[in-house]
A and B are shown apart, each in its own frame.
Chain A
Amino acid sequence: MTPKKPYKRDVIIEVTTNLMFPLTLLFGLYVMIGTGGTGGGFQGGTILASTFILYITVHGHVKGREKMPESVNALFKSLGLFLYNGAGWICILFSLAGAQWLNMPAFWPVTDFVGVAGSRSFLVGYMVSVGIGLTVMASFVSQYFDLAWKEDEEMESGE
């Protein structure tokens, strides 16, 4: 069942959004993971969230739910924080409680392969930054969904 739209369909905007969607996601991933250059978790997560917000704005929240289901959203929200804290936990676990929380070079399975510098950049670049990015993205998208529902309900009750 396709929901009735309260506005007129615009082909140009929809096609442009469909074209932009994967490219913006890719750019968001680049900013989120490219900690050697500019950016980081917060900025990358915001760019990823803006991608989904654009899609929901153009296609409506019912079709937007297909791109970002609630189960995935809730998973991402908590998984981000879990990854950040997990990076700290890994350091304690793999050093048998010898190292401090978030003391990155204690992560010996990676340190053996790529050295101290590599393990530190690995944890900060991939676990910490990706964790921040996932939480930020999922939180913003979830808030936008909630507000879109609210507006929809008010329009229904007004008619």
Chain B
Amino acid sequence: MRPPAMKPLTLMGLLTAILLTAVSLYAVEDIPAFGDEDSAVNKYIKLFSIDSDARLVDNLNAGILPDEIRNKIYDLGFIKGPTCPGCQDENYPSLAEGNYKIEFIKKGTWLGGRLYTKDGWDVLIHEGEIFYNEPQQYYFISEANGGLSVYRYNWPVRVTEKTEEETFIINAVTSGLADYRGYDTMGEETVILTGAIGVILLLRRRGRL
């Protein structure tokens, strides 16, 4: 049997397919490269900065978190400090002695899926911590202009702190769903539509539309 001649509808379908392919290529071109320092995942948020001091720097180089920084972090409420002398911290991962380790990282290092854009000390959760088996990036401290700035890596904390500034949406869940992860949600919606079309093709008989 000879194939039928190309109808206007078929031509429209071909044009739509070409257009969709072009859009897909355009969208893929736009996705930031993995490890891009400006992409949302790789940024960390600045918590506070304190005046630098030779003693603090020596402490950090020796692998000890100074009490000034630790108390400031406790004040922010991410970790509750010990309620009595000699107790453990209230929630995990804690900043008690032996639960973390400090390493100096040079600018331009590629580590843990992140590109370091400044020199600084990385506070890692230690291997022996109760809930984390591997060392994890936790806090980042860098020295600049005579001050020590403390940053925190954490995706949920980053979203809750920065969502209004970056996306102008009050609701952090909606901004995550429709803005930070917009491509993902588009795929989910397409999956639902495809499922409905599949049910139509399987169950619906001809002439019942």
Contact = CB atoms under 8 A, between A and B. Distances in A.
B134 to A, nearest CB: 34
Given A81-B193, A138-B196, A142-B199, A121 B27 contact: no
B18 interface: no
Interface in B188-209: 189-190, 192-193, 195-196, 199-200, 203-204, 208-209
Interface string B158-178: 000000000111110111011
Contacts of B170: 36, 121
B119 interface: no
Interface string A104-115: 110000000000
Interface stretch (B65-73, B136-144, B179-187): B179-187
B105 to A, nearest CB: 31
Contacts of B185: 84, 128, 132
A146 B189 contact: no
Given A84-B189, A146-B203, A139 B171 contact: no
A85 interface: yes
Contacts of B173: 40
Interface residues of B, number: 30
A128 B174 CA distance: 10
Interface in A38-80: 40, 70, 77-78, 80
A35 interface: yes
A28 interface: no
B179 A124 contact: yes
Main secondary structure of the interface of B (DSSP, over half): helix
B131 interface: no
Contacts of A121: 168-170
Contacts of A85: 186
A100 to B, nearest CB: 5
Interface residues of A, number: 39
B203 A147 contact: yes
Contacts of B169: 35, 120-121, 124
A70 B209 contact: yes
A27 interface: no
A78 B16 CA distance: 15
A16 interface: no
Given A35-B169, A36-B171, A135-B189, A149 B208 contact: yes
Contacts of B179: 102, 104, 120, 124
A21 interface: no
A152 to B, nearest CB: 11
B192 A139 contact: yes
A154 B175 CA distance: 47
Those 9 A-B pairs whose CB atoms lie nearest each other, nearest first: A139-B196, A117-B168, A146-B203, A120-B168, A102-B182, A100-B30, A124-B178, A35-B174, A128-B178
Interface of B: 26-27, 30, 167-171, 173-175, 177-179, 182-183, 185-186, 189-190, 192-193, 195-196, 199-200, 203-204, 208-209
16 contacts: A36-B170, A36-B171, A40-B173, A80-B189, A81-B190, A88-B27, A100-B30, A101-B26, A101-B30, A116-B168, A124-B174, A128-B185, A135-B192, A135-B193, A139-B195, A146-B204
